[in-house]
Amino acid sequence: MGIKYRLLRGMRDISGAEAEKISRVVESAKKTFRAFNYSELMLPTMEEAALFARAAGETSDVVAKQMYVFKDKGDRTVALRPEGTAGAARYYVESGAAANSPIVKIFYSGSMFRYERPQEGRYREFYQIGCEYFGNSDAACDAEIIHLASMILDEAGVREREIFINTLGCPACRRSYADAVKKYAASLSGELCEDCLRRIEKNPLRVLDCKTDAEKLSDFPRSQDALCPECLKHYSEVKKLLDAIGVKYTEDFRLVRGLDYYTRTVFEIKSRLLGAQDAVAAGGRYDGLVEELFGRPTPAAGFAVGVERMLMASAGQKEKYDGGFFVAVTSPAITSAASKLAAEMRAAGIRTEGPLASKSLKSQLGAADKMGFGQVVIIADEELAYGDVIIKNMGSGEQKKMKLSGLVGQLAEQNAKARDMYDMARHGAQAEQEKK
């Protein structure tokens, strides 16, 4: 029989070790968000399509080309969220959260959807974790989110990463800067790609991050030359604070970000371990966004991390050892003793599989081996009569008897010890690596 149903293009099943790794990385990021006093916001997957268009801008790639938009049965035009910021800002306005607190700091995690050309590190459904900080226009807020993003990547083990920052200035500065870029690009228009020609009219800053024309545009005007004194002061304050916290960064004068809503600070974190899609995290300040969504003028900043790319850039890191035992029986008649033991082991937090009592002992051991269990607890008729079980080490083949009473406590201890030894060995190896 052939396979009839297959994954949609750009969609993925995430299973096994990768799924576990994602859960773990997301858990660890949540802890870090909490340490910075952010609280969790669980956003809906769908919103009115107009929200994203209004927030990100009609001309942004995300809205113009990549959005999954459709009519629901009530004839509403809805979209699967391509990003989290618009929904978070909608929540901020709609919930009136500002009334309860001078600043509002939230984080979110979940799938985002973008109809783009699938390739390594680029999917049509992907996972992001991100945050928004509303109500603080100080440079300390910009520095905080950049620091936070870099900590999240560090804790996930992302290697060879570099933080790039730039400033686009307040809306007035941004406008005059966009004009300067427009003039400059127009003077070269004969040589530029079609995408750039379109961008010159609609979204001139985007010309700067064109990969095709980068060399032709090498003499581009820099945003810092177009900034007003306050914007310049804000930007140098951000850099000073990052220096004080000890966050290393590189200035990238081409960095403009794809969405219209950015003002002042923008940043991206890239890893050399990734191929063409090398951005792991991106964000910045967007002081005009809340007002754009008909809320009171409110400064805001935030970022999003792409979880798949974060894992790709941390590959090679050893997984946490989770040990565990397979419980086997020599005959189906004693299944209940095995089930009871397995229940107690699970209650003690030990990863436990079995019994698969309808199989022969031999095929149970084969199953344990295939599933990667290093140890099997065998419940055998004869031994059980004396209150004993057999522990078989699958690696060495060695078997030993243990008393059933008190067994769970001993196995839990043994499991923890094995894990400690594994972690120690791993940290030792890591320390060695870092020395090199």
**Is the Cβ of residue 78 or residue 304 nearer to ligand ATP in the bound state?**
304
Give residues 324-363 in contact with ligand ATP (rule: CB under 6 A): none
* Residues with Cβ within 8 Å of residue 432, at least 6 apart in sequence: none
From 26, 89, 168, 282, residue interacting with ligand ATP (rule: CB under 6 A): 282
The stretch near ligand ATP (CB under 6 A) out of 278-286, 312-320, 324-332, 399-407 is 278-286
**Is the Cβ of residue 114 or residue 174 nearer to ligand ATP in the bound state?**
114
From 137, 277, 339, 414, residue interacting with ligand ATP (rule: CB under 6 A): 277
Strands (DSSP E) along 135-206, which ranges?
Answer: 161-167
126 lies in the site for ligand ATP, by CB under 6 A: yes
Give the span between the Cα atoms of 206 and 89, in whole angstroms: 24
Residue of minimal Cβ distance to ligand ATP: 306
From 192, 281, 368, 391, residue interacting with ligand ATP (rule: CB under 6 A): 281
Task: Tell whether omega for the bond before 355 is within 30 degrees of 0, i.e. cis.
Answer: yes
271 lies in the site for ligand ATP, by CB under 6 A: no
Contact 21, 156 (CB under 8 A): no
From 32, 60, 109, 128, residue interacting with ligand ATP (rule: CB under 6 A): 128
Q: How far apart are the first and last CA of the chain?
A: 53
| DSSP state at residue 119 | B
Neighbour count for residue 140 (Cβ, 10 Å): 12
Give the span between the Cα atoms of 177 and 194, in whole angstroms: 22
3-state DSSP percent of the chain in helix, strand and coil, to 5: 45, 20, 35
Contact 391, 324 (CB under 8 A): no
**Is the Cβ of residue 282 or residue 350 nearer to ligand ATP in the bound state?**
282
Residue 252's nearest CA partner among 275, 284, 204, 300 is: 284
CA angle 210, 213, 218 (to 5 degrees): 100
* Phi and psi torsions of 162, nearest 5°: -140, 140
132 lies in the site for ligand ATP, by CB under 6 A: no
From 81, 90, 114, 239, residue interacting with ligand ATP (rule: CB under 6 A): 114
Q: Minimum distance from CB of 257 to ligand ATP (Å)?
A: 6
Give the span between the Cα atoms of 298 and 43, in whole angstroms: 20
Token code pair at residue 339: 């089930």
84 lies in the site for ligand ATP, by CB under 6 A: no
The residue count for binding ligand ATP (CB under 6 A) is 18
For 199-266, the DSSP string reads HHHH-GGGGGG-SSSTTTTTTPPPGGGG--HHHHHHHHHHHHHHHHHT---EE-TT---SSTT-EEEE
The stretch near ligand ATP (CB under 6 A) out of 19-27, 150-158, 306-314, 403-411 is 306-314
From 200, 231, 304, 328, residue interacting with ligand ATP (rule: CB under 6 A): 304
Binding mask 371-390 for ligand ATP (x = CB under 6 A): --------------------
**Is the Cβ of residue 43 or residue 356 nearer to ligand ATP in the bound state?**
43
Contact 47, 69 (CB under 8 A): no
Token code pair at residue 91: 């929540």
The stretch near ligand ATP (CB under 6 A) out of 120-128, 174-182, 185-193, 423-431 is 120-128
Binding mask 223-262 for ligand ATP (x = CB under 6 A): -----------------------------------x----
**Is the Cβ of residue 45 or residue 95 nearer to ligand ATP in the bound state?**
45
Q: Minimum distance from CB of 113 to ligand ATP (Å)?
A: 9
302 lies in the site for ligand ATP, by CB under 6 A: no
Point out which residues bind ligand ATP (CB under 6 A). 83, 114, 116, 121-123, 126, 128, 258, 277, 279-282, 304, 306, 308-309
